[in-house]
Amino acid sequence: MQVASPIPKKHARIEIIPLIDIMFFLLASFMMVSLSQTHMKGIRIQLPSPNVPPPTTQKDYISIRVGAGNAVSFDGAYIQDDQIMPYLFQLHTANPGVKVSISAEGMARHGDVITVLDKVRRAGIQKVGYQIRAAGGGPAGPAAPGAPPAAPPPPPR
């Protein structure tokens, strides 16, 4: 025979809502502690103010081309022979490290090119380059390996 107990029988229950509240509290606490322990480091920078003009850039490269009849052009603009030296001095004073590239047309005289080179050196410009092409007009350089040597030019008559 089964006798009923005067004490009501309760079933055990796990309340999950307070457990979730405690877990969120612990998570927030650990996050706040970990963030307060890291030191934020940055680089100091100077931002430009809006009323300062941008710096002017110096020209560091000039191309000189010598043509037939001693026609000299600087970056495509022709300059008279008596204005070459003042222009070179002006370039050198504006930027002592200016680079000059000298090229010549096919009909330019060798002496005219050397005269321009002497003027560049007298102006104090030290960085000078030359643009050289082969006599045929193509790029100068060694022939392909294994290719026969170029034929010598015919003798004058």
For the chain, give every domain's residue range: 66-130
* pLDDT number for residue 141: 47
Q: Is the pLDDT of residue 25 over 90?
A: yes
Contact call for residues 68 and 108 (beta carbons, < 8 A): yes
* pLDDT number for residue 156: 63
Q: Is the pLDDT of residue 79 over 70?
A: yes
User: For the structural domain made of 66-130, what CATH number should be given?
Assistant: 3.30.420
* CA separation for the pair 123, 89 (Å, rounded): 5
What residues pair up with 71 in beta bridges, in sequence order?
none
Q: Which of 14-23, 34-43, 142-151 has the highest mean pLDDT?
A: 14-23
Q: What is the pLDDT of residues 85-133, one digit of tens each?
A: 999 998 888 888 889 999 988 888 888 889 999 999 999 988 998 887 7
Helix or strand or coil: residue 103? Answer: strand
What residues pair up with 136 in beta bridges, in sequence order?
none
Q: What is the mean pLDDT of the chain?
A: 80
